[in-house]
Structures are given as C-alpha cells and as structure tokens.
Amino acid sequence: METRPFGRTGERFSILSFGAQRIVDAHQCSEEEAIRMVNYALDHGIRYFDTARVYSDGQSEERVGKVAKHRRQEMWIATKTRGRTRAEAMVHLEESLVALQTDHVDEWRMHNIWNMEELDKLTAPGGALEAAVLAREQGKIRYISMSGHRNPQVQVEALRRFPFDSMLVALSALDHFILSFAEEFLPVANAQGIAVIGMKVMALAKLGPYYERALRYTLGLPISTTIVGMESMDQLKRNLAVAEDFTPLGDVEKLEFFKEIVHLATPEVMRWKTTDYFNPVEWEKR
Ligand SMILES: NC(=O)c1ccc[n+]([C@@H]2O[C@H](COP(=O)([O-])OP(=O)(O)OC[C@H]3O[C@@H](n4cnc5c(N)ncnc54)[C@H](OP(=O)(O)O)[C@@H]3O)[C@@H](O)[C@H]2O)c1
C-alpha cells in the first residue's frame, strides 16, 4: 500500500488507517472479532489506529489495548480527550494509558473542537492544551493533535494559536459541498507542514453504497492518511483492497460522482455540520 509522510514527525503511514470507534459491542462487533480485525490490519500494512476515551465508555480503547499489549512496537496509537480543562484532560489521559495497556500514546487529540468558544476554553490558562504540553514533557504523549468536523475556520484559527503536529478533519466527498476543509483548511495545514488525517469518508455510512469512489476521493486529497470507521472484517478487507490498488478519481469521474451524491448534502445526512449535533447524547457517537 502507498505510504505518505506524516507531517514533521519523520513517520510514514499507509494511506488507509484504522478508525476504531466501531469495534465495540454497540456496533455488533465482538471482542474476538475486534482483536482479529486489529491484528489483520497490522498484518496488512496498517499501523495507525485512532480511538478515544469516550468511545463506548472506553471499550474501543480496551480492545485496541488488548492487541497493543503484544504488538505495541508496530502500532501508532492516537487517542483523544474531550476534557477542556487541564485537570479533566489529565484524568482522561491516565485512564487512556491504562485501557490501552501502554505507558505513552503517540498522538493525543483535543477531541472535536467545533466552535471558537470550545477553542477558547482549550487554549485559556488552565485549559486542556496545558495538559497536552505537560504530558509531552513527561513522555506520556509524543505529538499533540486536534479533531474537528464542523467549521474549518476553527482549525485554521487553532493553527494560529498553537503549533499542533496534526489535525483530524472531515474530508468526505460530501464535505466538498459545505464548509469545506479541503478548500479552506488543507492549503493552510499543508503550507505549515501539519499532518492531516481524513475522516467521515463514508459520511457515517451514507456513502457506503459508493465506498470505492468515496475512499478514492478522500485518498486523492493532499493528506497524510485517512481513517475509516470499520466494524467488520468484510469492511476492512474491502477498504484494504481499494487502498492497495489506489488511483485517484479522474476529473470526469469526480464530477460524475459529485452528481450522484449531491442529493445527500443535507443537514439530515451531514449531521456533523449542524450545530444541534453537539449535545451530550450525541457526544458518544462522535
Ligand atoms: N471528532 C472526532 O475526532 C471523530 C468523530 C467521529 C469519528 N472519529 C474517528 O473516525 C473514525 C471514522 O468515523 P467516521 O465518523 O469518519 O465514519 P465513516 O468512516 O465515515 O463511516 C464509518 C461507517 O461506514 C461504513 N463502512 C465502512 N467501510 C465500508 C465499506 N467498505 N462499505 C460499506 N460501508 C462501509 C460502516 O457503517 P455500517 O456498517 O453501518 O454500514 C462504518 O461504520 C472513527 O472510527 C473514529 O476513530 C473521530
């Protein structure tokens, strides 16, 4: 599989990476299947695993950790905190390290910074960013990251305030149509050498019927890698097949694809672009 440099870190990752949010009971994925999938991914060139403290109350991290216990050296583990204060974030990090069965995470993300108020909390004195800087000094994390999927200008502003190492942002073909990270954020991040990881490739499964072109669209952007949320071995094998044989969509192919999917560019499908998506009940899903 093609590999690409990961920003300024000196690392390279395969273009397809593993979103581990859905390898949980709530998505009908047993622990046995989850462990089989993570091992299969590792055996087929995927080293990058994205999880978060909040995913199924730690079950996603625990399952990644059950493989990390044996194969940590091969893995790049990114996890997240949704704490906005230094104190909250530090507690989350300690919990993550236990669940992941490791003494450090490679990349620690400030989870889902969706508006300027959230960014202000994070960067204020006593905010979670201070926890990240401290944790890096202590060797508990290696790189500092952020995720966002709503308004690209929030992540542009974040880069003005702090030299993040990477950003995980929404880059599906549907994101092309509204508040586009591809248009507004990628040029800024690339000019600064920030590693960018794509997400929402399948638009929360709504692009599942178009998975091959959906993946080729995102992989064709100037990004380091993309995570896809996978919950079955079948999905993992299909996405691997596309990534191993990757060619970018041609101009005509891309236009045809946009014509086929533009009817899905609605608030009902693209819930991550709406403001009412960000309430406590929905948090678990992000
Ligand atoms: N703010 C954040 O930081 C944030 C937010 C959300 C997610 N994430 C991370 O990003 C990862 C990806 O999540 P996402 O929200 O971006 O979702 P996504 O990858 O756009 O969609 C994932 C869903 O697409 C479907 N799918 C995957 N491969 C497929 C294939 N080959 N064919 C057909 N359907 C396929 C599956 O749904 P069905 O089985 O239901 O069809 C799967 O659950 C997560 O695992 C998580 O690690 C981060």
User: CB-based contacts of 163: which residues, under 8 Å, 6+ apart?
Assistant: none
Which of 16, 18, 21, 38 is the pocket-test mutation for ligand 1 (most atoms within 8 Å of CB)?
Answer: 21
- Distance, CA 204 to ligand 1 centroid (Å)? 5
Distance of CA 236 from the midpoint of ligand 1 (Å)? 11
All residues at 6 or more sequence positions from 229 whose CB lies less than 8 Å from its CB, including other chains: 19, 21, 22, 202
Task: Please give the distance, rounded to the nearest whole angstrom, from the Cα atom of residue 124 to the centre of ligand 1.
Answer: 32
* CB within 8 Å of 78: residues ≥ 6 apart: 48, 49, 50, 51, 105, 106, 107, 108, 109, 145, 168, 197
Q: Find the 231 Cα to ligand 1 centroid distance in Å.
A: 8
Give residues (CB < 6 A) around ligand 1. 19-22, 50, 80, 111-112, 147, 149, 168, 199-205, 208, 211, 227-231, 235, 238-239, 286
pLDDT in tens, 204-260: 899 999 999 999 999 999 999 999 999 999 999 999 999 999 999 999 999 999 999
What residue owns the CA closest to ligand 1's atom 12? Answer: 229
pLDDT of residue 201: 97
Tokens describing residue 39:
């091992």
Low-confidence ranges of the chain (pLDDT < 50): none
The tokens describing 281, both together, are 């009940």
- How remote is the CA of residue 266 from the centroid of ligand 1, in Å? 18
pLDDT of amino acid 277: 75
Closest ligand 1 atom, residue 52 Cα:
47
Full-model pTM: 0.96
Residue nearest to atom 34 of ligand 1 (CA): 208
- Looking at the CA of residue 203, tell me the nearest atom of ligand 1: 20
- pLDDT for position 284: 55
Strand 76-81, strand 141-148: pairing:
unpaired
